[in-house]
Amino acid sequence: MRKLFRSSYYRKIQIYFIVLVLLPIVTVSILSYTTNKETMMDNIRLTNKGVLEVMAKEMEETIEDLSYASLLFVENDELHTYLERYSHVERIVDFEDYRMFTDLENLLSLVSVKTSQPYIHMFLANEHGLIISTPGFFSRGKTVDQLRNHWGLIRPKVELDSTGHLQWLGEISSHTYPERYYYGTRVIRDPSNRNILGILNVGISEKYFYELFRSVPTGKFALFREGKRFAGSEDVALRPMQPNKDSIRNSASIPSVGWTLVLETPQEQVTGQLTRTFYISALFIMVLVSIFLVLSVLLARNLHRPIHRLQRLAVQFGSGNRSIRFPVTGDDEINDLGKTLNQMLDQINELIAGIESEQKEKRVMELQALANQIRPHFLLNTLNAMKISLALRQDKFHSEKVASLMMLLRNYLRMDEKATLKEECDVLRHYVSLMEMRNDMRIDFQANLSEEVEDSLVPKLMLQPLIENAIVHGFSERGEHPGIRLSAEKIDGALVIRISDNGVGMSTAHIDDMNRLLEGDGTDEDAASEHIGVTNIARRLQLTYGMQASLRIESNADAGVTIHLRIPIAENPSM
């Protein structure tokens, strides 16, 4: 009877192990796996929707840019003289025809810069078949014959009476030149007699879409127009024959051209690693629990308390307390089990944390992709139009100033990036040029860089506030022959940049106060606010390169000041 009871007790212990250890852990694992899988799928759906919206917006903006660029070319009244002659020319026979051809080619290239896409090109054609194209088309291995082939396919589709908008004709391809292009056309007419002066064509290569799709590592894209696939994966259909539960499908439309963009992500691609990890963990748990069941027969009397602890751990972990662990107090099998269980819980936590981190990074990338679309297009477009208008009016001085302003604006938009020291000096020359015009003075700015430091990376616009201080404060009294000298060299494992001016200079006491402020000794808020430009540069240096980076001010022999910047080379991999 006692043996039967003892045997029954062992079986009870084994049942307790199954009920209190195996079942809760498996349940928690399955629930965790199911919950994480559903959460991941929901996040992928939201992420794909955001990515698709970003891509659709990118395509919509590209179409708007192309329409604007073509309209800028067509509505330029100063081009009608060139276009009037161009409309009658069948081939180049004299110098005047050649000059007309090159002028239209240069203006077409200038306008096409607005598209800023490597797989988009423009070409102009007249009724005699004379074609003028942007040079970028030929730089990618294309030929004039290919353009003539495209023009032969485009010409029958053009509605000559429609001149108020950009006509989107659809895709163009042939057996001779298999690369497909999506073309839009704008008819140019003489406003006085309505004669056709030429036809401006804008082509988008299918490679543009493949490059855009390649930027997203997961899922398959396809682009459709009028039910036909123009670009993307052949595995994606516009309307599948039957719903596919094993994939996530999103679509977005580009109404201005009648396009439909479809993104399809296989479920295995999203949850495959999670599923494999789950089954491996489940197998690992089953092996461990089998060992526990064998040990329970031999150690039944000593297992009650540890089993209770294990059961309580599993329940609390299943309730969301992922920090709980089994208290290991010895080296026996139960404590070994506790150690292994702790490792398993750590692995589960690491898996959950990895999934959460991955989803967080994807959300950050999505937000960054959306934020990157918010650019000052209006200001850049307006400045570009002003530059083109000034260039057409032969106003080289103001055209160069507008170009300098655009250069500074683009650099301000990328201040979180780095530039080479040579590129930074080019930006400073543009800035000095603008300050010369603003302050009505001639400034002699010279930058002396050796070849070994030209490609050294520095934060964008880090040196510009120092040049601004030299001009605003150093030359405030308009001394004769104002000049600024910038030099750089490598000294003792560091890049040393010196900026010197021949301005009014600073007193010794003022220089000492400034150096103490830059070193952080006794810094007060009032002093820092009075010299916010210099203190911000010193702070930016230390945040980027560490405390070994420094900025100091000294007097020089020209009665001005010299600013020394020291950047450790070890923190600057490009050097």
Domain boundary among 315, 343, 372: 372
- With beta carbons less than 8 A apart as the criterion, state whether 262 and 249 touch: yes
- My answer on whether 497 and 431 are in the same domain is yes
Report which secondary-structure segment, H or E, holds 58.
helix 23-74
- My answer on whether 366 and 423 are in the same domain is no
What pLDDT, in 10s, does the model give residues 318-375?
777 777 777 777 776 667 777 787 778 788 877 777 777 766 755 654 445 444 444 4
Return the exposure string of 211-223: e unless at least 16 CB atoms fall within 10 Å of the residue's CB, then b: ebbeebeebbbbb
3-class DSSP assignment, residue 133: strand
- My answer on whether 460 and 329 are in the same domain is no
- Mean pLDDT, the chain, whole residue set: 76
What pLDDT, in 10s, does the model give residues 395-418?
777 777 777 777 777 776 666 678
- My answer on whether 340 and 463 are in the same domain is no
- Of 84-98, 169-183, 261-275, 519-533, the range with the lowest mean pLDDT is 519-533
- My answer on whether 449 and 555 are in the same domain is yes
- With beta carbons less than 8 A apart as the criterion, state whether 119 and 134 touch: no
507 domain residue, yes or no: yes
Q: Would you state the pLDDT for residue 364?
A: 57
- My answer on whether 356 and 279 are in the same domain is yes
Confidence category of residue 486, pLDDT binned at 50, 70, 90 = very high
- My answer on whether 422 and 558 are in the same domain is yes
Contacts of 132 (CB under 8 A, 6+ apart): 86, 101, 104, 105, 108, 123, 124, 125
- My answer on whether 566 and 423 are in the same domain is yes
Higher pLDDT, residue 255 or 269: 255
Examine the pLDDT at 288 and tell me if it is beyond 90: no
Contacts of 172 (CB under 8 A, 6+ apart): 150, 153, 154, 180, 181, 182, 183, 203
Q: Would you state the pLDDT for residue 4?
A: 41
Comparing C-alpha atoms, which of 183, 178, 177 is closest to residue 157?
A: 183
Token pair of 541, please? 């240096």
504 domain residue, yes or no: yes
Angle (nearest 5°) at CA 55 between 254 and 111: 80
499 domain residue, yes or no: yes
Which pTM does this prediction carry?
0.42
107 domain residue, yes or no: no
- My answer on whether 425 and 510 are in the same domain is yes
CATH of the domain at 454: 3.30.565.10
Q: How many domains does the chain have?
A: 2
Q: What residue numbers bound the domain in which 512 lies?
A: 418-571
67 domain residue, yes or no: no
440 domain residue, yes or no: yes
Domain boundary among 372, 400, 427: 372
Q: What CA–CA distances, in Å, run from 26 to 32, 212, 283, 337, 342? A: 10, 43, 10, 16, 15
Higher pLDDT, residue 286 or 440: 440
Express as a percent the part of the chain with pLDDT over 70: 74
Q: Would you state the pLDDT for residue 22?
A: 64
What letter does residue 257 receive in the DSSP assignment?
T
Q: List, in sequence order, every beta strand (DSSP E) within 244-397.
A: 247-254, 259-266
- My answer on whether 464 and 360 are in the same domain is no
Comparing C-alpha atoms, which of 414, 409, 411 is closest to residue 387?
A: 409
Rg, the chain, Cα only: 35
Mean pLDDT, range 263-274, rounded to an integer: 71
What pLDDT, in 10s, does the model give residues 213-247?
887 777 788 888 777 887 777 778 877 766 666 67
Domain boundary among 372, 407, 430: 372
Comparing C-alpha atoms, which of 172, 52, 53 is closest to residue 123?
A: 172
Pairing of strands 483-491, 131-133: unpaired
Distance, first Cα to last Cα, the chain = 86
Longest dimension (CA), the chain: 122
- My answer on whether 560 and 484 are in the same domain is yes
> Is the alpha carbon torsion for 442, 448, 454, 457 positive or negative?
negative
Mean pLDDT, range 81-91, rounded to an integer: 85
Higher pLDDT, residue 551 or 523: 551
- With beta carbons less than 8 A apart as the criterion, state whether 453 and 495 touch: yes
172 domain residue, yes or no: no
- My answer on whether 552 and 423 are in the same domain is yes
